[in-house]
């Protein structure tokens, strides 16, 4: 990786924390440019960083800025991404080499955030929810690249499960096939993004950040390929009724199909449509679950650093 410096920029604060063996938590940027409107997106991103700092870790918001994977965006860069919004391309693994070569910007998905974090030496990443196997994938073959990345890249991802718009059962089957451990944080049931319940079981329940850190350290020490998924339920006071959210998802899916929306445009369309159908309740739930995930992510990162001292 002799020429990696041409494509990767690690912010001085993040690099200093890594060099000192201090906890760092990676954050994605798709949630800024594609997840919510301006200025709510910037306010949320900055507050997420504040929460991580309050928990004793260093935040590293990741994006592609002018052809460089930037691990630790500045306040100005976050503002830039938020203002440009949907004009910033959503960058997955397939897009990465072209955007880097052209010197363009890109909002990192779970996949590309994991890639950049791993290259920089950041081992913990907190987000809202991962992508997965879409409903009807047995005919469309629509499966998120996030799952393949989890099978390859040694980063622990903290999330509120896979997004409710997906086929949760098939997503878990796919992760099992790829050998990705799916853990539940203080729960034995896979959370479903907006709700705490899905009806599916996780592989293992973990009751503390230290439990999670020990399991992930063992994976790293044994050089076992791929990452690990820690699913953290949305706080109960912000959770939505399962039947209510499923009714709105079904309505959004029907409209999506009628409009012929395909590929990577499906998820942002569905999330936006569900937000409108729920009168903004789903957006507020989304924000709160992210706040919850980054707090847990910071605690896990601290526990992992303590084990490595």
94-to-54, 100, 115, 197 alpha-carbon distances in Å: 35, 11, 12, 33
141, containing H or E segment: none
For residue 39, whether the previous peptide bond is cis, meaning omega lies within 30 degrees of 0, is: yes
For residue 160, the number of C-alpha atoms closer than 13 Å in the C-beta half-sphere is: 28
For 262, other C-beta atoms within 10 Å of its C-beta total: 11
Identified catalytic residue from 68, 90, 163, 302 = 163
Contact, 117 vs 108, CB < 8 A? no
Write the burial class of residue 260 (CB in 10 Å: 0-12 exposed, 13-18 middle, 19+ buried).
exposed
53-to-44, 231, 293, 298 alpha-carbon distances in Å: 14, 21, 14, 8
> For residue 245, which phi and psi values (nearest 5 degrees)?
-70, -35
Q: Is 28 a catalytic residue?
A: yes
Q: Is 173 a catalytic residue?
A: no
Name residues whose C-beta falls within 8 Å of residue 134's C-beta, 6 or more positions apart in sequence. 140, 142, 143, 144, 165, 166, 167, 266
230, containing H or E segment: strand 228-231
Contact, 220 vs 123, CB < 8 A? yes
Contact, 168 vs 182, CB < 8 A? no
Catalytic residues: 28, 163
């Amino acid at each position: 990786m002799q020429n990696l410096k041409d494509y990767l920029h690690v912010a001085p604060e993040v690099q200093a924390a890594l060099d000192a063996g201090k906890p760092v938590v990676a954050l994605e940027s798709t949630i800024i440019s594609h997840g919510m409107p301006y200025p709510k997106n910037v306010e949320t991103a900055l507050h997420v960083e504040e929460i991580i700092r309050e928990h004793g870790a260093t935040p590293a918001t990741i994006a592609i800025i002018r052809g460089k994977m930037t691990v630790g965006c500045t306040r100005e860069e976050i503002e830039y991404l938020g203002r440009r919004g949907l004009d910033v391309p959503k960058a997955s693994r397939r897009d990465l080499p072209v955007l880097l070569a052209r010197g363009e910007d890109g909002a990192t998905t779970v996949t590309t955030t994991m890639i950049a974090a791993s290259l920089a030496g950041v081992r913990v990443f907190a987000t809202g929810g991962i992508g997965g196997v879409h409903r009807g994938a047995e005919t469309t073959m629509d499966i998120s690249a996030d799952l393949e990345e989890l099978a390859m890249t040694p980063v622990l991802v903290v999330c509120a499960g896979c997004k409710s718009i997906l086929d949760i059962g098939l997503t878990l089957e796919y992760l099992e096939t790829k050998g990705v451990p799916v853990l539940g944080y203080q729960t034995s049931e896979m959370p479903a993004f907006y709700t705490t319940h899905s009806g599916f079981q996780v592989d293992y329940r973990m009751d503390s950040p230290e439990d999670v850190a020990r399991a992930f350290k063992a994976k790293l020490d044994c050089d076992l390929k791929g990452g690990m998924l820690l699913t953290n339920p949305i706080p109960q006071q912000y959770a939505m009724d399962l039947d209510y959210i499923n009714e709105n998802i079904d309505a959004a899916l029907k409209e999506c199909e009628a409009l012929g929306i395909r590929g990577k445009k499906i998820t942002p369309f569905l999330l936006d449509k569900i937000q409108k159908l729920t009168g903004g309740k789903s957006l507020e739930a989304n924000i709160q679950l992210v706040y919850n995930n980054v707090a847990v992510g910071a605690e896990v990162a601290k526990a992992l650093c303590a084990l490595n001292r």
